[in-house]
Structure 1
């Protein structure tokens, strides 16, 4: 095929992906706002936000992983114009996600004493616990939002969840200003105030997207035509959701371990690691948008049994990913010494963060490609083998390398990030091989590629 056969898909890919990217980046900009606003209080406060999010990130990865099961099922049913099945998928997915949100909140609160067992600075732990409690409570409305978001994304109507995210997150920034610094007569709560702002904004976010769902005709129709009895949808959601949750748990677990390892190196390293993670997460959200686009478009083609077209579309998404990630890598290389000053004016922290960002520049391609490949495999409803790949790449290979290089080879924070680079690169290579294997001779059995 000629290059134009792939580039002509860019407009369709971006139409789906850009709202997802903007919505995801909006979430992270709030995290950026939290870090920047808290960072002005000092490096202990910045490290506390990082530590407070360790358990939250793990719980969030599990919850979002379950919600991701909704999208490929909806996109497949949407290709077949099966309105009743789409409605049933949403109904059962929403109930499942809400239950999971409640359970995750209780688990995080129950595991709170773990923060005191991680050999972290005492002052950081004391600041982190109140913050973590509020963010844990916010997991319930966040999971309700995720269920609606993944349903709407599966219909390729990605602009609604983007709008809800932007509005709610702007509110969060304003609430942070009130509660962190105690402006306009509000109490000065500092780190805990950032957690309160997150909790309130996530309630607002689910209310906004719910309003779209109930008032927009193109969405509301799926709530009307919901089958009373639908066979196997909850089971299907669990079968797809559980391994997808494991995938995200393994990856987030690797980065959470990086937070803990950086804490063992001292407060400066932990603060620098948080800066590098936050900036890398911003670029990763662009990859997430392309990955979800791969899930949606692959799910559509799977529903139509058009596998040659599926391959062409995936190649177009890969090409787009290559262009975007090369740009991000160049930005990290050129501005690695300036970007950390957005967070904190501490020379030691800035230098450590700059070293981590240099390595982060090199894994932009690996990170972007692996999330797109994972999205394509999810669209094919192939989730168990990718879960095993994530486990091996991140925990068997990546994490031990981070530990050894930072602790025994004396590479410090850079050693941790070399381990992250290794895990992400291996993950992409193995997932690409899995994708090529599945598409070499796909067979249809109950409309599922095995």
Structure 2
């Protein structure tokens, strides 16, 4: 199965569940796929779900930042390695959604229970392995990176606690993907926002040190994240347990081994997992470049990274919808529809991001003050956010183009562009501009802007080039 099949399979998987009894809408309209309305209807739920993911980390960063700018630096450095591992794990679990959708589309829903069972096992193994690795090696790595001793100790303590929440979150993601493919995307969306509510309440109680427990700051935020992610896993597991379809398709019934399908389930996630890890790892690595410039620069970069991550969820949702439309057009061998879907997704993403960039430029200090009351941090973060607005559009272009490329079967080109842009270009350039040339945080941001422009430009050019080849092959 190629990447071109995957978004279309997910869309087909929802159709059998669009019965009046299910009360679920398909979210698609084959007769309206050439309109912006159809694109928005598909992108909207995706954006809402992905914003829920970002809201959890954003809440913790804001509460910790209001408590202490120094603790926000600990939080950023402790969060960075775990987020990279988590994103890679999510990519590796994409096979759950794809194989579930494939079986439903092929009229074999009874095989989808085994897919989830394998996915949960993979998630547990990935989570436990990552937790052990980060707990044992994470503090050692932070200690030999030349960080200030207090910064390394504070970040290490937060890192260990954050790593404990990887297993429940990855298990929750396996169930999340499975439910989306089964035509129940609202279930994980609601569960995620309920978990966010719990996360906020616990953060306000634990982070300032007001609870009877001897924790505060970044370490408290780690425990808050653990309990919020655990609640997400339990809510999704409870819903699946009570869903009759889950029992009917064998989620809770042992099935005979299927080695070929198990290998396929793992293989599907490799390309996306590697790509996700590269991008997330590169941006997390920028925390350590910032750390060479002091804890205040780390805290300001953490503000920028959180805001950029929230903004990124908007083009990510649009990119997912665009990929579905591109995939259907490829399946229909309609070159004009492929180009139209890509153009619509790109224009919509850039238009929305342009508006968000303008809003950011109007009062970046307002956003910065949401993270901290420290006047020095607010001043530094405000200038950085103004500059960061430049790369919002470039980052949106690259995610729309990379998803569209995967939708048409060009799986590895986006991964290659991420290697070139973010590993080979962005990190060395950020060190050279920020440290060697003495431009500080501004130098780091210019490195991000340049890398995003290179990635976006290369991916868009690739898509257009393949469009010409596709016309020849179909002609």
TM-score range, shorter chain: 0.7 to 0.9
Q: Cα distance, 1:361 vs. partner?
A: 0.8
CA distance in 2, matches of 1:226, 1:359: 54
- Greater mean alpha carbon deviation, residues 116-125 or residues 396-405: 116-125
CA distance in 2, matches of 1:419, 1:96: 36
Partner of 2:24: none
Given that 1:69 and 1:244 are in contact with CA atoms closer than 8 Å, whether structure 2 keeps it comes out as no
Superposed counterparts of 1:249-268, under 5 Å: 249-268=277-296
Partner of 2:415: 387
1:61–1:299 distance in 2 versus 1, CA, 3 Å? same
Which residues of structure 2 form unaligned runs of 5+?
Answer: 1-30
Given that 1:30 and 1:169 are in contact with CA atoms closer than 8 Å, whether structure 2 keeps it comes out as yes
- Greater mean alpha carbon deviation, residues 251-260 or residues 136-145: 251-260
Q: Does 1:291 align with 2:319?
A: yes
Q: Cα distance, 1:98 vs. partner?
A: 2.6
1:363 partner SS: helix
Q: What CA deviation, in whole Å up to 9, does each residue of 1:245-271 have, x standing for no partner? A: 221121112212221111111111111
CA distance in 2, matches of 1:310, 1:87: 34
Given that 1:75 and 1:296 are in contact with CA atoms closer than 8 Å, whether structure 2 keeps it comes out as no
Which residue of the other structure, out of 127, 135, 139, is the alignment partner of 1:109?
135
Q: What CA deviation, in whole Å up to 9, does each residue of 1:264-284 have, x standing for no partner? A: 111111111111111111101
1:187–1:371 distance in 2 versus 1, CA, 3 Å? same
Partner of 1:193: 220
CA distance in 2, matches of 1:381, 1:232: 22
The alignment covers a number of residue pairs equal to 441
Tell me the TM-score normalized by structure 1: 0.88
1:151–1:371 distance in 2 versus 1, CA, 3 Å? farther
Q: What CA deviation, in whole Å up to 9, does each residue of 1:139-191 have, x standing for no partner? A: 00111111122233345542221111100111111112222234364444332
CA distance in 1, matches of 2:378, 2:125: 42
1:382 partner SS: coil
Q: What CA deviation, in whole Å up to 9, does each residue of 1:313-363 have, x standing for no partner? A: 333322321222111111221121321111112232222212221222111
CA distance in 1, matches of 2:410, 2:364: 38
Which residue of the other structure, out of 156, 180, 190, is the alignment partner of 2:207?
180
Tell me the TM-score normalized by structure 2: 0.84
Which residues of structure 1 form unaligned runs of 5+?
Answer: 444-450
Partner of 2:432: 404
1:9–1:67 distance in 2 versus 1, CA, 3 Å? farther
Q: Does 1:270 align with 2:298?
A: yes
Given that 2:394 and 2:456 are in contact with CA atoms closer than 8 Å, whether structure 1 keeps it comes out as yes
Partner of 2:154: 127
Q: Cα distance, 1:306 vs. partner?
A: 6.4
Partner of 1:246: 274
Q: Cα distance, 1:393 vs. partner?
A: 1.0
1:380–1:105 distance in 2 versus 1, CA, 3 Å? farther
1:36 partner SS: helix
Given that 2:101 and 2:181 are in contact with CA atoms closer than 8 Å, whether structure 1 keeps it comes out as yes
- Greater mean alpha carbon deviation, residues 355-364 or residues 369-378: 369-378
Given that 2:206 and 2:221 are in contact with CA atoms closer than 8 Å, whether structure 1 keeps it comes out as yes
1:69–1:326 distance in 2 versus 1, CA, 3 Å? farther
Partner of 1:447: none
- Greater mean alpha carbon deviation, residues 183-192 or residues 393-402: 183-192
Q: What CA deviation, in whole Å up to 9, does each residue of 1:69-117 have, x standing for no partner? A: 4444545555544434555543433332332222211221122211112
Which residue of the other structure, out of 169, 180, 189, is the alignment partner of 1:142?
169
Superposed counterparts of 1:280-429, under 5 Å: 280-298=308-326, 309-429=337-457
Given that 2:97 and 2:180 are in contact with CA atoms closer than 8 Å, whether structure 1 keeps it comes out as yes
Q: Cα distance, 1:7 vs. partner?
A: 8.3
Given that 1:397 and 1:423 are in contact with CA atoms closer than 8 Å, whether structure 2 keeps it comes out as yes
1:181 partner SS: coil
2:410 partner SS: coil
1:14–1:111 distance in 2 versus 1, CA, 3 Å? farther
Superposed counterparts of 1:61-76, under 5 Å: 61-75=87-101
User: In angstroms, what is the RMSD of aligned CA positions?
Assistant: 3.0
1:357–1:346 distance in 2 versus 1, CA, 3 Å? same
